[in-house]
Amino acid sequence: MFQKLKHRWKVNNLNLVLIIFTFAIGGSLCGKAGAGLLNFFEIEKNILWWVIYIITVTIIWPFSVLAVSIPFGQFAFFKNYLQKMGQRMFKQKGSTLNIAIFASGAGSNAQQIIHHFRNNKSIKVKLIVCNNPEAGVLSIAKNEAIPHILIEKEHFFNQDGYLLALQQHQIDFIVLAGFLWKVPSALIKAYPNKIINIHPALLPKYGGKGMYGQHVHKAVIDAKELQSGITIHYVDELYDHGNTILQVTCNIEQGLDDAESLAKKVHILEHKHYATTIEELLHKLQ
């Protein structure tokens, strides 16, 4: 049960305990406050009393748990939780889905994705996550006024994978765009089938550790392949291993193309197909 709650709420063990305490204490205070209000107005305790009590408790419960969540450090979680609960209760469809882009380099794909969703009312690039303080994607985040997180290796792999930070930004979907670290299992479990990557070659042949950037293009050229391309895939615990979502190819001209010219062809495919594929996947979640 508790494992399911962790995955559903995208939290670690400590925050799960704090959330449960908040529910318990907030509910208890809410019940006492409701009874106190009715006793203050000296309403006779009969069937009408119970009807008014239930209505009163329903109204004040959100305020009670929000107040209790502050000292427990869970205000962001409960704010998001209550918003989603309200949307379900009132059948509000098409709520905004928030994307976090993970990137390690210049960020050309990140920029293209940001541009694609700039005026989209239902999908928003909410956060940039980067592991390289010198990466150009951080300048993009600044210029686009998008919050960013500069992550640290020990925290990322041996703690919660920055789950709490993603939760605080209400992230629904993770997009890897030139992100060179393997994604830890904490994030894979918290975002099942909600983390995708784009690989600058055709998988599974040209994937795995070290197969990125010019390295992968050189490997393709050295193998005298007639085609290369892009692979958009779900992310699992292994490098370049998750189920394929889309592959698009480009031709390689023998004796004319090298790693640099092939990279340009692949970049064209990346910019053309990645953002639209993300949009198609997210529409299925709405």
Q: Which amino acid is located at 76 in the chain?
A: A
Question: Which of these is catalytic: 199, 267, 273, 283?
Answer: 199
Clarify whether 215 is annotated catalytic: no
What is residue 256's DSSP assignment? T
d(CA 136, CA 192): 29
Q: Which amino acid is located at 275 in the chain?
A: A
Give the dihedral sign, CA 242/141/214/250.
Answer: positive
Q: Which residues contact 184 (CB under 8 A, 6 or more apart)?
A: 156, 157, 161
- 195 forms beta bridges with 174
User: DSSP secondary structure string, 214-253?
Assistant: HHHHHHHHHTT-SEEEEEEEE--SSTT-SPEEEEEEEE--
What is residue 182's DSSP assignment? P
d(CA 201, CA 229): 5
d(CA 275, CA 257): 27
Show the CA angle centred on residue 122, arms to residues 117 and 127, nearest 5°. 55
- Annotated catalytic residues are 199
